[in-house]
Structure 1
């Protein structure tokens, strides 16, 4: 299998004209630079590094509520709605969100999964037959972590999480934790756990920035969510100077799980360059979860996003990386390639 067009190759997304050749095992066999007739733009499929898709039954249900009123256990709005819904309703709603992500070029999402072991099973059922990798960063128990792909802690002010952190090390799975979303009080105890990644980090103080740099802990930022919940915005440039940043869409109650929208939003409210934001949406999220895609290089698993570079929206773009980050959308998706047997043109 091969795809031709402008290929955003390597970690710098150097645009080259040519073809991507995928072997029978679903890996990139070669990237060949040559003149081609295609106007397509080929890039790595996205990795959405932080989602809560269990809330897909409650889209736009929380207008005017604070973050605590929306999501705080046990009586935040999301928890009341989740308790009131039956299993089939929850699985069906999650499947719709995963289907949208698949159509919009997302290869994987790192989902902080409520509901203990049963929550993991529900996400597996929701993803059954889809191409997107729905990874469960489970919470509720060590057993849930073992059933899933890692542990996703709510925040160090909620519990100590020492046992869960030790268990993830033993299991060889990643441990992530929310930190610094509402204020700075949970940042130091979160860092004390030596997590594999942090989520949000809206309110770091200078000493936290130094700890983050010293520990080299990646951070997943969620700008649209932070704006909607009125907690503030992360110091993106200061964080990027010190560690690796990845990008997530957070709670489906508040935002569509569109990485296109998240990239555009971040690009237009921050000084981060377009190539850095595209790495946040692809390679950096893949590395947090130890995935073999997120980059177009020979030997990598072939998870490709193919955009119509001649769409009314993208035609005439002088800088393909900026166009992808600041302008492209789901309507520009021509195809998402998911390796062996998994390439399929998008159904309109």
Structure 2
């Protein structure tokens, strides 16, 4: 397979005119060449933080606080999850995963409620779809062993030392929410030496130092943080200290659209378009341990092809900026996964 157009090459997403050569699902060459295609070829997205089960409760709970919406065990979303049947939940999750795959997301890092059964739900929902959920079980060590790791709610909710050690021994991924409502749970989360943190809306100087010293990545979810009223993450300050990736968080509150998340982050924060696109591709893939998110030889060919001659994108003077700040589902020509 050969894909031609303006290719956003390598981890720096350098725009070149040329082609991507794919054999048996792997990129074998990225070549500069005179080509006639107006297409824009970029890495498929990695959505680095999702709660796909919330698909059963879209736009529920208007006006509620963060705790009233999502805090375990009695936040509204947990009540709705318990009330829904397996068929209802799996179908709703499948719809969100299908939307994500059709709009260029190759993988998501899913914090999966419901223990082992919850892990089974998302495996079933994704089984027929070209998307790879990296599933982090919650609530029990069994859920961690049944999935790709453990996704902790937050250090103020429980003592996660035992689960952290078990996850490390299993050589699986451990992520934890931190600094979403206030800074008071950040040090305890960092003490666990997690593979990544989620949110970090309220870091203080000591937390920045610890992030940098220990090279702990952060996943930010700015649309979700704004909707829940907790503030917005200091994206510029975080990117100066560690790897930062982008997630869409609860489907209850936001569509799982990386296009929308990128645009919001780019217009909110003092970061370049290239940095935001890295947050949506290579950085999320790096956190999840995936061999894609970058267009270069020997990477899996997970690609998103946009119509550069669409009414929305035609005439763009800066291709990367246009992809980040204005591209959307209507501009998708093909998703190669």
Asked whether 1:20 is paired with 2:20, we answer yes
Task: Find the aligned partners of 2:58 and 2:127 in 1 and give their Cα distance.
Answer: 22
TM-score (norm 1): 0.96
Q: Which runs of 5+ in 2 are unaligned?
A: none
Counterparts of 2:144 and 2:157, CA distance in 1 = 18
Q: Which residue of 1 aligns with 2:327?
A: 328
Partner of 1:137: 136
- Counterpart for residue 70 of structure 1: 69
C-alpha deviation, 1:165, in angstroms: 0.6
Alignment of 1:308-327 (within 5 A): 308-327=307-326
Unaligned runs of 5+ in 1: 339-348
The match for 1:345 is none
Q: CA deviation at 1:41?
A: 0.1
The aligned residue for residue 8 of structure 2 is 8
Q: Deviations over 1:126-179 (max 9, x none)?
A: 001101001211101111111101110000001110111111111111100000
Q: CA deviation at 1:75?
A: 1.6
Q: Name the CA distance, whole Å, in 1 between partners of 2:141 and 2:79.
A: 24
**Secondary structure at 2:296's aligned position in 1?**
coil
Q: How far 1:254 moved relative to its partner? A: 0.1
Residue equivalent to 2:53: 54
In structure 2, C-alpha distance between the alignment counterparts of 1:16 and 1:22, rounded to whole Å: 17
**TM-fit CA distance, 1:10:** 0.6
Q: Superposition pairs for residues 174-323 of structure 1, below 5 Å?
A: 174-323=173-322
Measure, in 1, the Cα distance between the counterparts of 2:61 and 2:10: 40
Deviation at 1:67, TM superposition (A): 0.3
Secondary structure of residue in 2 paired with 1:93 = helix
Q: Report the TM-score when normalising by structure 2.
A: 0.99
Whether 1:152 and 2:151 are equivalent positions in the alignment is: yes
Task: Quote the offset at 1:236 in angstroms.
Answer: 1.0
Query: What pairs with 1:24-43 in structure 2 (closer than 5 Å)?
Result: 24=24, 26-43=25-42
SS at match of 1:22: strand
- How far apart in 2 are the matches of 1:315 and 1:57? 37
- Aligned residue-pair number: 337
